[in-house]
Amino acid sequence: MTRRRKRSRPRQSSVRKRHPGRPRLRLARDVLLIATAYVVIRVGVVETHAIPSGSDEDTLLIGDHVLTEKVTYRLRDPEPGEIATFVYPFREMPAPLAVRFFLRNFLGEISGGPTLLIKRVVGVPGDVVEIRRGVLFRNGRAVPEPYLKTDAGADWGPYIVPPWRYFMMGDNRHDSADSRYFGAVPREYVTGKAEVIYFSLAPTTCAKHRAPILYSQGKWYCSGGGEEKRPGWDFAPAPAWRFDRRVRWSRTGKLVRAAN
């Protein structure tokens, strides 16, 4: 008698069938992780700030992109001479502290909301700040300011900086809206310390008149007001789409140093 051979069952493949919805779930998870990491870093570690005006010339020019870190001012208070960012206007928001902190630091540049400004710290709590004959005085002593575009500005003060507030001023004193106009900055509104210019892009229009920049007979002019030669216009302005010609390589990577 011949034995019947048992038919062997085909082996099942060890490779599991992929569920059609799993790639989408993985993608959603990755996007969520990236977004969470971005928010944590943006709110708690570093932030970027684009310079829109000439209030800090020649230290910071229009088109500079500055990287500011937020760890230092959690460990200590701001010191005179440092360049810091802060939220303006100084108003309370009807929200818990954590939500208010997120709105100020992450959504602060949305139109209609608070604005993120950058200025130099010239006075700390208890200091007496005064400007006399174009020179800044702090506690009765003249402050050397080699970084100024012109002089320290018109006579102003004396002003005693209140507790938990900081007196901020732009380096271009004649064209800067700062603590001389809106008062000293509350400590909780100071968000970060400027560290480095990580990128710089020359403007194609004059910020003051919103008109094109022109070059004629070796001089720079603003076509809206005849404004002559401003810092950073070191080559013929190119159209907005000529990105390669507008980059200011000499300023990219420059450290923003505090005054001694």
Q: Residues with catalytic annotation?
A: 55, 119
Q: Give CA–CA dist 126/234, Å, rounded.
A: 42
Tell me how far the alpha carbon of residue 93 is from its chain's centroid: 22
Alpha-carbon distances, residue 115 vs 52, 133, 175, 182 (angstroms): 12, 32, 18, 13
Nearest to 103 by CA among 117, 89, 93, 91: 93
H/E run at residue 25: helix 22-44
Nearest alpha-carbon partner for 60 in 171, 161, 190, 135: 171
